[in-house]
Amino acid sequence: MSASEMSLTQADNTPNEPPVICIMGPTAAGKTALAMELHDILPCDIISVDSALIYRDMDIGTAKPNAEELKQYPHRLINIRDASESYSVAEFCQDALAQIAEIRAKGRIPLLVGGTMMYFKSLIEGISPLPQANAEIRQQIEAEAKELGWAHLHQALEKCDPQAAARINANDSQRITRALEVFRLTGNTLSHLSETKGDKLGGKIIQVAIAPKERKTLHQRIELRFNQMIEQGFEDEVKKLKQRSDLHENLSSIRCVGYRQMWQHLNGEYDHDEMVFKGVCATRQLAKRQLTWLRNWPNLTWLTMEDKTNLQQVLAMLK
């Protein structure tokens, strides 16, 4: 048993639970690398907090750790959904809380890493207890959409839940379905129910964000990584997805950054160079949104990508 394991085991004899470490930050900032370094030292288990990594067969474009890395550094909540399936924030919170409880029960540290800020926020602050998906209601909504179109259903949503309709794009079939489903199941709007907070993460939480000193450094890394994805066969990965009759451009999975641009390129909407340009720009916009979330995040310790002492800083917080 290592010194860190022995120390944590001794700490478990007290009523205190092991802490939870949250590593946040924009895409391509080095979150996964830091998590792997911590995994080498601490008795911890990694939980992915990423709305794209949940999908099977979407590996290259999501920058998912490869099979060898996942064998050495297992990630929970990766590859848990088919690309045709939806996965709500509420489902993530339920799954993550269960994983955290299991890890803590073993006296180990849950290590959460990812860039989906809504997942982190809902987990830490709590999320409303929304109803489970109902297959019968969803089939009814799908049938209505087939007959009348999603624009008509979006208009129906405007009448029963104008706040949700204002947030949801008229082509976002999954989110329209969910909002209408909640209203038909409960008689309450998704907007109203979302104001009620449910279970949230308890105990000690160490929250760190890793980001570059200068934005241009991140932009360069994003462009480099996107081009590396192309070289690794990203186009073939999306071609295989396009061969499936159950997948289309408005699904949450295909709307992931990079996938949507490649999908449209394969539809002939623009050439390869423009696809790369649009993909890089979309990824930079994602990083900008992630940083905007984090600027107002409470109880957050900032680390810089260029700092060689990030590992030591996180370890010091555990003491």
CATH classification for the domain delimited by 135-193, as one of 1.10.20.140, 3.90.1150.10, 3.60.15.10, 3.30.1490.20: 1.10.20.140
Q: Which residues pair with 302 in a beta bridge?
A: 209
pLDDT tens for 218-246 read 999 999 999 999 999 999 999 999 999 99
SS3 per residue for 57-76 = CCCCCCCCCCHHHHHHCCEE
Name, in order, each residue with C-beta under 8 angstroms of 278's C-beta and a sequence gap of 6 or more.
261, 264, 270
Q: Strand 44-48 vs strand 20-24: parallel, antiparallel, or unpaired? A: unpaired
Domain ranges of the chain: 3-127+198-318, 135-193
Burial of 16: CB neighbours in 10 Å, binned 0-12, 13-18, 19+: exposed
**Is the full-model pTM beyond 0.75?**
yes
SS3 per residue for 244-259 = CCCCCCCCCCCCCCCH
pLDDT of the residue at 12 = 38
pLDDT of the residue at 120 = 96
List of the chain residues with pLDDT < 50:
1-14
What span, in angstroms and rounded, lies between the C-alpha atoms of 154 and 139? 16
Phi, psi of 272 (to 5 degrees): -65, -45
Alpha helices by DSSP H, listed for the chain, are: 3-11, 31-41, 67-72, 89-105, 117-125, 135-148, 150-160, 162-167, 173-186, 190-193, 215-231, 234-242, 259-266, 272-295, 310-318
What span, in angstroms and rounded, lies between the C-alpha atoms of 252 and 173? 9
pLDDT of the residue at 144 = 95
pLDDT tens for 110-133 read 999 999 999 999 999 988 777 888
In CATH, what is the architecture of 3-127+198-318? Answer: 3-Layer(aba) Sandwich (3.40)
Nearest of 254, 222, 227, 257 to residue 238 by alpha carbon = 254
